[in-house]
Chains A and B, each alone.
Chain A
Amino acid sequence: MTYEILTYILGGLTIGTALMVILSKHPLRSVLYLVVTFFLISGHFLLMNAQFIAIVNVIVYAGAIMVLFLFVLMLLNLDKDNEPKTPWLTKFIAVISGGALFTVIIAATSESFMHLSQKAVEKTGDAIVKVSDQEGLVENLGHLLFTEYIVPFEVSSILFLASMVGAVLLAKREKQTIVEL
């Protein structure tokens, strides 16, 4: 029962802060709301007993990526005065395409959720699969990553390496004019 109440409270807060990300007028506040949203998502992970994913979500998104966002926004100094005016038509098209994307995502995920819960009902007679308390802990996660999902794991690490090399190349391309100290 407490679990359900917590889920509802967390879910409501998550949706609220996520809406504030796009509704708040100031870009810096949007970023801060996004940070809060990431925290709340980590809360959802904690409720599902996935401590490792929860904390990695905080470290990577709230702790590193959002700090860089803030960094850039602080230097840009965006105000209401020099905000570019968007034409009415652009706004209309943006709403339509965003809504279409949202519908597609909802359709796709609801289909797969239905499928999953059907499978669960067939298996256990209950829509919610009760996993053990140890499921999301780091030992089991690491074991799964290095046995069953080793190929996707390695492929994604190669992707990271490639993007790192790319970033270094992009940063190095311009001729350095700063005097080496």
Chain B
Amino acid sequence: MDTGMLIEKFILVVIIFLISLGIAAYSTYFERKLAAWIQDRVGPDRAGKFGLLQPIADGVKMFFKEDFIPKNSDRWLFIMGPGISMFTALITSAIIPWGPNIQAFGRTIELQVADFNIGILFIFGVVSLGVYGIMIGGWASNNKYSLFGAIRASSQMISYELAMGITLITIILMSGSLSLSEIVDKQHGMNWNIFYQPIAFIIFFVCSLAETNRAPFDLPECESELIGGYHTEYSSMKLGLFLFSEYVSMFISAAVISILFFGGYNFPGMDNFSGNTLALLCVLAFFAKIFMFIFIFMWIRWTIPRFRFDQLMHLGWKTLIPLSIINMLVTGIVIAFYQGWF
């Protein structure tokens, strides 16, 4: 490992970090605007032109509020909860291939921080850790509603992880590799996985909604039943981190969905370009897909009402898991057939 590589990876990490936070911040603005359009309102329009400074105003407000730690809470775990949430939301961005290699300063630079041999399992591992922030925060608050929120979050995440894992297996079967960059390369041009695996896509999409605690699966913070759910006792920037990590993980899971099913940075007609132009267009195409998925996430939130908890469990265990197992078996049989096993 030479110094040049260290420097370029460091710069890449900083850029990805800033982009993730920036997109998450403006997702909050966009979400409120979108909700306003859907509900025939105006939405935030006071701070700056079209209300564009609203996220900054919100951030400043969050910082200046009183930071309160309840007396009977577990102090350290209470502080750790939001941090763990944010960490697990951000860490997946390390293995996402943002674009093909670019040539700059006489070097070939990969637009991916770490090309893990087992990238897709890394995503799954981080997803399964995502529950810790909410669980620890909810338990440490020493509040019944927070505890209920934490328990709901963890049981929901455990249930939907299974179906998610099984759909990941179908993608692994399709591409024959666990490395994300290879999965993206296999979908060159318009050869996207969505055309072969529409059912897997639907299951994975529903599971990502559940894993990011987005509506209609936002039961851990269901206001009408649990006040604020797991973050009832939180205030100031700790609450801000919890809310913000939801938007970061929405951005990251939109990126993961576009990688696994929509070809990542591939776009039709990409063979007409080459070099840095191609890389730039690829990155733009990738972000276009990500924004489309963020839009769909929000669209769903403001259209579909919240599930009841038993309905959520029924959907997870009795519909999505059997469906994903059947899908996996059929995929396996078809692949075996094409490889001439019969």
Contacts and interface: CB of A to CB of B under 8 A. Distances in A.
- Residue of A58, A67, A137 ringed by the most chain B CB atoms within 10 A: A67
Given A35-B132, A67-B135, A56 B117 contact: no
Contacts of B122: 55
A75 interface: yes
B118 A67 contact: no
Given A28-B139, A55-B122, A64-B158, A138 B117 contact: yes
A63 interface: yes
A59 B125 CA distance: 5
Contacts of B155: 71
B121 interface: yes
A137 B117 CA distance: 7
B128 A64 contact: yes
A59 B162 CA distance: 12
Given A35-B132, A58-B129, A74-B147, A138 B118 contact: yes
A68 B128 CA distance: 12
B321 interface: no
Nearest to B310: A181
Interface in B112-164: 116-118, 121-122, 124-125, 128-129, 131-132, 135-136, 139, 147, 150-151, 154-155, 158, 161
A56 to B, nearest CB: 7
Contacts of B279: none
B140 to A, nearest CB: 9
B135 A74 contact: yes
- Residue of A29, A62, A63, A71 ringed by the most chain B CB atoms within 10 A: A63
- Residue of A55, A58, A137 ringed by the most chain B CB atoms within 10 A: A55
Given A51-B118, A62-B128, A71-B154, 11 more contacts: A32-B77, A35-B132, A52-B117, A56-B121, A58-B128, A59-B128, A63-B125, A63-B161, A64-B158, A137-B117, A138-B178
